[in-house]
Structure 1
């Protein structure tokens, strides 16, 4: 089965930036420099928005796209998959580039690479070249993802890290929701090519804001680049990501999961000795040896995976099993966005005041309660309870994400902020791939009618609730001394 498509959602691009602007009031300077200004946070939020929105913006343009190139819809799903897989595979290396050449400089280059990939995709004469252009876009998006988070960590005072991170968390969450409706407008106006042409003005605006408001004058760091380790890490993550994504059907070409998992296994066998002898390995051991950072990374992967399991099941279940119109199924996601927007700032404040453990435990507890409500709704057809569950799920993720991310950033060495941001972003994208691919494959393989669809949805939501409780226990143990 191809990677599940994402149903349209009624959230706009403008709303994401408005939320970012409203949430950013910071004052007074600390030893690390002035608190980040509103415009600095907006400049970084634009990069975070672009990288996440582009993962989903093509969803509603797949039908005209596949007709143009004469490929089946299952092949068209590769346009979605290749972006997620490529960005996940390259993020660790891209984060290290910021530590080596300067985070502002590399962040600006991300807009240029993204614009190049966008233009190449719009002009692609063949489907294969379109996929290549999407991979280039993913590299640019990866630079923007890691760069925005590492620059926030660099310029935000320690007492404001949580609230500053909350801006990016909310922006990325809403960007994923805004992608499909924004793509629908662009397709209606200018065809599928308009989806990619729109990347150029967005990149230009982002680069202009970054040039104007992201502070200059940073020095290059003496961070060695581990080329061999970077390549092997990329092929390892590529193999894992593509293998999971192709469980229901090939991601690129005809290669199945066994081929991709073989690539991952060989890469791992070569990577271990390579990293042991490297003077500065791409996998920074200081990060992984820190129990708090390791716990935050694992919690990011699991929490994102549970959220994406909802994204994988909800539209198919509502549309195919109950005949719900796509626009109505899309509206079911709006309460999640509302919940995230309501609580993200509060979660950041709790983290800044030293209550990270309380915030993350409450967040995952709420997320578990939301999934439990959804499970009951799926079993009883109580649609009002489903909407309540989605709202509570959003509230929980808003409380959880900012404190969990800022806790990891706080313990990262100053010369490895880019690597730390890349690790967290890689975990988040891996959660997206796992949640969408595994849940979608299970749903497709086991559903044979309305009753079985209700049973699978009930089971999926119940398992997600248990995973959220596991994450609450994990972070509660890791953040006891926060």
Structure 2
């Protein structure tokens, strides 16, 4: 128990919260029918969770350093469980979205304290083994999410994708309190709440603007107001981070090209790889008529490819620069999305397979290496900050991907359908529209919308891959973070500031 107990406790929480990122994808059509939810509602079911996770990850991580990692971790798991119960009993889309946001807060507290807890318990070779197991569990959660979501949705119903979290949470909390010791960060650190609030305002504003653009247009007053508030929040965030004693992220790190490149890759990665998946699931079930289980199984091509590449590539690609694996992986993801942009009114699920395999191959290269790439280009004392930033940018990229690709989808649909019909179709309303429009028109409209979303996702991944290849360089002999003239002076200025 002393050896494997802490690892099991931490991995249970990690598996549960990462599972909830993908498990809901297959259940979206069932939610839409049960709750009479619109496309925007479904987008926020996914984005509410990802946004809360992205916006609070760094701030809650700092709070864990002050309050105690175990205490924050257990609180996060308990909040996640309570929020899962609220999701399961939700009577309307507004209640479900609010509960998903609360879930994201709990997930942020859980994920932010995972690595500090493992680092406090395991050292040396045991730490390497523990991190390897934790990484494998993280990958498994993403892989089984769509299939498990399909089984639960087709069986007891979509609400059980949330109820299943309850027994796992009870075991995780009990085991954490029993076998995981308390740990804290360096003394004297303060929590940057102002930075947390302003970053949350920026992330929420830009995502809300992108979602609203899909239903009201990019030039609508509400859309422009959301983007303006997001810009104001970003300016406030920058001002706060430049003045606060313990910032969420030292903005001078972005002067290092390699760090900026890795963050661009992290932002592009999750959105481009998984952001179109929600709309593909709706197409599979409501237009092609597939069951939730069969619809979930389609995504196994991606999951299995990612699992095989990450497992085998870790040994075969040892010593290959991260700019090659991460940048090349992003280019593969982009190629896979372009391959999926070939749908027409007569296409079936088989048309997606080549693209899903390429996206899976790329994911298997990027996912294991992107955090290490961030740590390799910053000074050692900034390792925790860099790791948190990578996770934050990944979740923010996913939230923005859901919003932007959904807007691209409906914009293209409106070439052949009225605005309201396009949104109803994208939100799973193919059955209700079948009496007003020929089936061929609906199938063609959705296929063309998915093609556009896939092309946008492919462009995002390609640009991210090019930036990683161009900006990320292997550190010279000077050590981590010494990638250009600014990186070395950053370490010196940071030390001087502390003294």
Q: What TM-score does the superposition give when structure 2 sets the normalisation length?
A: 0.73
Paired residue total: 444
For the residue of structure 2 that corresponds to 1:247, the secondary structure is helix
Partner Cα distance (2:118, 2:227) in 1 = 35
**1:392 and 2:386 equivalent?**
no
Given that 1:309 and 1:460 are in contact with CA atoms closer than 8 Å, whether structure 2 keeps it comes out as no
Q: 1:69: Cα distance to partner?
A: 6.6
Of residues 467, 473, 483, the one that matches 1:474 is 467
Partner Cα distance (1:92, 1:173) in 2 = 22
How big is each residue's C-alpha offset from its partner over 1:322-354, in whole Å with a ceiling of 9 and x where there is no partner? 565654443221110001111113444467646
The 1:316–1:62 alpha-carbon spacing in structure 2 relative to 1, beyond 3 Å, is: closer
The 1:420–1:51 alpha-carbon spacing in structure 2 relative to 1, beyond 3 Å, is: farther
For the residue of structure 1 that corresponds to 2:249, the secondary structure is coil
Of residues 245, 262, 277, the one that matches 1:296 is 262
Q: State the partner residue of 1:424.
A: 390
Given that 1:350 and 1:403 are in contact with CA atoms closer than 8 Å, whether structure 2 keeps it comes out as no
For the residue of structure 2 that corresponds to 1:246, the secondary structure is helix
Of residues 141, 144, 151, the one that matches 2:110 is 144
Partner Cα distance (1:285, 1:432) in 2 = 22
Alignment map for 1:434-449 (pairs within 5 Å): 434-447=400-413, 448=416, 449=441
Partner Cα distance (1:72, 1:430) in 2 = 23
The 1:103–1:475 alpha-carbon spacing in structure 2 relative to 1, beyond 3 Å, is: farther
Alignment map for 1:265-280 (pairs within 5 Å): 265-280=231-246
Q: State the partner residue of 2:205.
A: 239
Q: State the partner residue of 1:332.
A: 298
Q: State the partner residue of 1:262.
A: 228
For the residue of structure 2 that corresponds to 1:280, the secondary structure is coil
Q: State the partner residue of 2:13.
A: 47
Partner Cα distance (1:58, 1:393) in 2 = 20
Q: What TM-score does the superposition give when structure 1 sets the normalisation length?
A: 0.75
Partner Cα distance (2:103, 2:114) in 1 = 16
Q: 1:223: Cα distance to partner?
A: 1.4
Moved more, 364-373 or 104-113: 364-373
Query: Any gaps of 5 or more consecutive residues in structure 1?
Result: 1-35
Given that 1:96 and 1:418 are in contact with CA atoms closer than 8 Å, whether structure 2 keeps it comes out as no
Partner Cα distance (2:206, 2:223) in 1 = 9
Partner Cα distance (1:83, 1:191) in 2 = 20
Q: 1:394: Cα distance to partner?
A: 0.6
Moved more, 401-410 or 469-478: 469-478
Alignment map for 1:14-29 (pairs within 5 Å): none
The 1:80–1:478 alpha-carbon spacing in structure 2 relative to 1, beyond 3 Å, is: closer
Q: 1:55: Cα distance to partner?
A: 3.5
Of residues 343, 347, 359, the one that matches 2:325 is 359
Partner Cα distance (1:215, 1:174) in 2 = 26
Moved more, 221-230 or 152-161: 152-161
Given that 1:99 and 1:416 are in contact with CA atoms closer than 8 Å, whether structure 2 keeps it comes out as no
**1:86 and 2:52 equivalent?**
yes
Partner Cα distance (2:73, 2:305) in 1 = 30
Q: State the partner residue of 1:230.
A: 196
Alignment map for 1:104-115 (pairs within 5 Å): 104-115=70-81
Given that 2:147 and 2:293 are in contact with CA atoms closer than 8 Å, whether structure 1 keeps it comes out as no
For the residue of structure 2 that corresponds to 1:248, the secondary structure is helix
The 1:283–1:176 alpha-carbon spacing in structure 2 relative to 1, beyond 3 Å, is: same
Given that 2:153 and 2:292 are in contact with CA atoms closer than 8 Å, whether structure 1 keeps it comes out as no
Q: 1:395: Cα distance to partner?
A: 1.6
Partner Cα distance (2:305, 2:194) in 1 = 43
Given that 1:166 and 1:344 are in contact with CA atoms closer than 8 Å, whether structure 2 keeps it comes out as no
Given that 1:244 and 1:433 are in contact with CA atoms closer than 8 Å, whether structure 2 keeps it comes out as no
Cα RMSD, aligned residues only: 4.1
The 1:260–1:396 alpha-carbon spacing in structure 2 relative to 1, beyond 3 Å, is: same
Given that 2:54 and 2:396 are in contact with CA atoms closer than 8 Å, whether structure 1 keeps it comes out as yes
Of residues 144, 157, 166, the one that matches 1:178 is 144
Given that 1:240 and 1:261 are in contact with CA atoms closer than 8 Å, whether structure 2 keeps it comes out as yes
**1:409 and 2:375 equivalent?**
yes
The 1:62–1:313 alpha-carbon spacing in structure 2 relative to 1, beyond 3 Å, is: closer
Partner Cα distance (1:350, 1:286) in 2 = 35
Higher radius of gyration, 1 or 2: 2
Alignment map for 1:367-382 (pairs within 5 Å): 367-375=333-341
Partner Cα distance (2:208, 2:132) in 1 = 30
**1:98 and 2:92 equivalent?**
no
